Structures are given as C-alpha cells and as structure tokens.
C-alpha cells in the first residue's frame, strides 16, 4: 500500500477513493468535482518515458499526476491548478500516497504558466481541459464544477499557446477533448508549432459515434498523423470493455481464464 501513515485530514464533504492501482488513493469531494473516465483514458494514452518532466495543466484534484506516478517512471510530475481548494486537495492526495519526491502541485493560472515555470521546462504535457465554450451547455451552479467544464478561467488557445512555450523541442502534448472541437484543436496546435502525430476516437459503445478524442502532438514534429482504432468504453450498459479495464488495471475475464481460474 502507498498510503502514508501521516495525518492527512479530510475537509467536510471529502472522501478517500481507492484508485485500484497499486494501492494508490485520491481525495475527492462530489460537491465540487470528481474525476471521470476521460482523465483515466488520457493517463493511459499518454506515452510518458522514464526521466520525463511532466506538467499536467488544470490538474483539478490531481488524478492525472497520481495515475502517471503509478503507471510511469517519469522523473517529476507537476500539477497546475488555479482553484486553491482543488490544489489543496490534490496536494493532500500527493502526501497521502507518499509521492512528494515525484509529484508537486502548484496553485496558479494556466495563462501565467510560462512565468511560473519558465520556457522549455517540460518534456511532456497532459491536459484534460474544460470542454465547453462560454454559454455552451448548462453551467453548473457550483463554480468549481463550472470552471472544470467551461472555459471560464482560460481558453483552449491559452492552454495550447502556453503549452507550446513550456515544452522543449520534440516535447509531447497529450490532450483529451470533444470531437466537435477537433478542427479548432488541430488549427491551434499547428499555429503554435505543435504537430498532431497520433489520434484516437473514444466511443461509448461500438455502434455509437465518438464522444471523446485523444490527441498527441509533438513540438516541431513532421507533418504526419496516425489515427488509431477507436476505443470502445462499454460492451454493454455499466460493463467496461476489457481494454478499458486494462487502462484501469482491473482484472478482465481473459486475465482470469489465462490463470486457470475459469
């Protein structure tokens, strides 16, 4: 187990959730925001190398840095979050998992990220940004949830422009977003010198249209993009496909069969 023996108090409304990955846990508050499958899929899509210096932009409660620490050998992972309450929650989760030597949470504005960290400070960036523009969709009464879902504190261009300056040459930018904004994403990536290299659409079911897209772009990369086969989330209602279970690192029916338990 990774859980620290030290005292890590919970605030009202908070709970500790098991990530079902090598004993890692996370503090969450359902009244503010809880991570979704999109964050987990991004952590599986991102090709993080040993020795990488990673920045997660808009880290929320720190789910992506914690998952990357569990899944990869990255040297250092920084989570940047504008909301003080969320940043504090993320930092307490880092301590709870004894990850202070690898993961650091910084409370700050994405629009000022280059000032905070300096140009070309990272070899990889991940981002699960707000999907909605302005008044698109219903804005939740909770400001915390509204900032997480709508471009209130920053825009997509803020994220990509700052990310490009933060990355070293040949650095990789990994993002999850909605397909309806794909053209805008590609245009902004190329505008700021980030060449889309890999893309994967995510479908809720095999017969449904994609509702997420995972994208990797490389700073200064050559013009060539690979579109991977779609990732299907559910094989039937409330039952994940084996591929998604492997991203979560949960046991699949085939895993059990190979061990001879079936």
What pLDDT, in 10s, does the model give residues 65-77? 999 999 999 999 9
**What mean pLDDT is predicted for residues 47-58?**
96
pLDDT interval class at 135 (50, 70, 90): low
Q: State the burial class of residue 167 (Cβ atoms within 10 Å of its Cβ: 0-12, 13-18, 19+).
A: buried
Q: Which two tokens stand for residue 70?
A: 């569990």
* Residue 62 near residue 90 (C-beta atoms within 8 A): yes
Does the pLDDT at position 84 exceed 80?
yes
SS (H, E, C) 58-115: CCCCCHHHHHHHHHCCCCEEEEEECCHHHHHHHHHHHHHCCCCCCEEEEECCHHHHHH
pLDDT interval class at 127 (50, 70, 90): very high
pLDDT at 219: 98
Does the pLDDT at position 86 exceed 80?
yes
Does the pLDDT at position 111 exceed 90?
yes
**What mean pLDDT is predicted for residues 3-19?**
80
pLDDT interval class at 173 (50, 70, 90): very high
**What mean pLDDT is predicted for residues 152-165?**
90
Domains of the chain plus CATH, in order, are: 15-259 (3.40.50.150)
Instruction: Using the CB atoms, write b or e for 190-217: b if 16+ within 10 Å.
Output: eebbbbbbbbbbbbeeeeeebebbbbbb
pLDDT interval class at 31 (50, 70, 90): confident
Does the pLDDT at position 13 exceed 80?
yes
CA–CA separation, 29 vs 9, rounded Å? 13
Does the pLDDT at position 96 exceed 60?
yes
- What is the reported pTM? 0.88
Mean pLDDT of all residues belonging to the chain: 88
């Amino acid at each position: 187990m990774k859980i620290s023996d030290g005292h890590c108090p919970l605030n009202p409304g908070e709970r500790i959730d098991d990530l079902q990955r090598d004993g890692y846990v996370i503090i969450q508050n359902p009244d503010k925001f809880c991570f979704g499958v999109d964050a987990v899929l991004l952590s599986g899509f991102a090709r993080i190398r040993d020795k990488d210096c990673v920045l997660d932009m808009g880290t929320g409660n720190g789910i992506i840095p914690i998952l990357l620490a569990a899944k990869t050998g990255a040297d250092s992972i920084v989570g940047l979050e504008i909301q003080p309450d969320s940043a504090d929650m993320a930092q307490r989760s880092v301590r709870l998992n004894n990850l202070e030597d690898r993961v650091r949470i910084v409370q700050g504005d994405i629009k000022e990220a280059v000032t905070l960290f300096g140009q070309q400070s990272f070899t990889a960036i991940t981002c699960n940004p707000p999907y909605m523009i302005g008044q698109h969709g219903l804005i939740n009464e909770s400001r915390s949830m509204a900032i997480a879902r709508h471009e209130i504190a920053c825009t997509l261009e803020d994220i990509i422009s700052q990310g490009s300056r933060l990355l070293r040459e040949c650095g990789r930018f990994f993002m999850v977003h909605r397909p309806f904004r794909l053209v805008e994403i590609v245009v902004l990536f190329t505008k700021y010198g980030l060449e889309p290299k890999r893309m994967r659409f995510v479908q809720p079911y095999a017969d449904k249209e994609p509702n997420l897209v995972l994208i990797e772009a490389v700073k200064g990369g050559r013009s060539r993009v690979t579109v991977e086969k779609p990732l299907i989330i559910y094989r039937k209602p409330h039952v994940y496909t084996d591929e998604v279970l492997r991203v979560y690192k949960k046991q699949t029916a085939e895993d059990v069969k190979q061990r001879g338990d079936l």
